[in-house]
Amino acid sequence: MAVAVTDVLSDLLQPSLRIVLCGTAAGTTSAAERAYYAHRQNKFWTILHETRLTPERLQPQQYRDLLQHGIGLTDLVKVAAGMDRATLPKLTAAERSRLSGVMTTFRPRFLAFTSKTAGQKFFDGKRDYGEQRDLIGDTRVWILPSTSGAANGSWQPEVWHQFANEVRAAG
C-alpha cells in the first residue's frame, strides 16, 4: 500500500503575484512551527521590510499576509525539512518540473531563489547571485543570498536591495 506524502509547508500562491520566493526546503524550525522562515536567527522577514517589499516587519506566523503584498512562497523540496546539504543531495526532474509548472501556472513577474544552493540545484550547475539569463515563461529569475543564520558568512543584503529595486522598476 502506498503511503501518501504531504508537503512540509503548503505553497503560498495565487494568480497575479509580483514575486514568488523559493527556498530549498523548510528548515526544521519552520517545519515544527508550520511557518516559513521561522528560525529566530533568519533574516528573511527583516530584509523584506528593509528593502520595502513589505511595509512592516512581519512575523513568521504572518506569512500568509505576504499575498497582500503580491508575494508568494514555495520550496524546491516540499516533502523534507532540514539544512540544504542534508535535504538536497540531488534535485529530481519531478521537483524541477513542479516548480516550472507553478511558474507557468501562476506567472509571477519574478521568481527569486532565497539561497544560492536552491538556484544552483534548480539550474543544475554553478550560478552567481543576481538576475539569471534564463526565464521560466515570462518570469524573470533571481538568485539571492540565503537569509539563514547558518549562512551569515555569505550574507550580502545589497543583492536583496538590487532585487527589490528591479521589482519596483517593473511596476
Res 171: pLDDT: 84
Q: Which residues are registered as beta bridge partners of 81?
A: 26
Res 46: pLDDT: 97
pTM for this predicted structure: 0.89
Res 165: pLDDT: 98
Mean pLDDT, the chain, rounded, equals: 88
> Domains of the chain by range and CATH?
19-169 (3.40.470.10)
State the residue for C-alpha cell 543570498: 145
Cα–Cα distance for residue pair 19/140, rounded to 1 Å: 9
Residue type present at position 157: P
The four Cα atoms 83, 103, 157, 23 give a dihedral, to 10 degrees, of: -10
- Segments in the chain below pLDDT 70: 1-6, 78-90
pLDDT in tens, 81-115: 555 555 555 677 888 898 999 999 999 999 999 99
